Amino acid sequence: MFLIVGLGNPEKQYEKNFHNLGYIAAGDVAEALGAKFKKKECEASVAEGYLGGEKILVARPVTYMNASGRSVKQLIAKYKLSPKEIAVIYDDYDLPKGHVRVRPSGSAGTHNGMRSVVAEIGTGEFPRIRIGIRDPELEIPLISYVLSDIKREDYELFASACKRAAEAALALASGEDCDRVMTKYNG
């Protein structure tokens, strides 16, 4: 079993925000698996699918971004998963817009949702997939930026980045080596 978590905020008003790119990518994962978000458990909306006979859970925590770790911790405990059996997808201001970066582990950086996940599960030793959102042309406070809507002219760029992030998550879920996934999807 493998768990893919897309970070975001649950209310409709946040749907098109940069901070919801993890949710969007999780939707792309579920679509690729032919799964629907039907289940509500562990403070998350969950879809279940199969990849090569292996069960894949796709979760969108409904705790709001800054408390995402609560949901991830509950899911890990319920399904008796190790941190290596999860991947977290989220937006990252430290990367240029549209870039995807896969890492086998690391710190939370400046991302409050990831800070929550790392704090709750007690380790940063799990794969993560970051979707870059930094636009050097915009000079607004970080919190205002991440909660702003993606500009129409950038929609295709971010839709493509979310699809690549979803493909990377599925590659990890299928057991592909993280170094190989990094080589294929980073950039």
Task: Report the run of H or E that residue 87 belongs to, with start and end.
Answer: strand 86-96
d(CA 133, CA 97): 4
The residue among 118, 105, 72, 82 whose CA lies nearest residue 178 is 105
DSSP summary character for residue 165: H
CB 91 within 8 A of CB 130: yes
Task: Report the run of H or E that residue 56 belongs to, with start and end.
Answer: strand 54-61
Which residues are catalytic, by number? 19
Helices (H), the chain: 21-33, 68-79, 112-121, 142-146, 155-173, 178-185
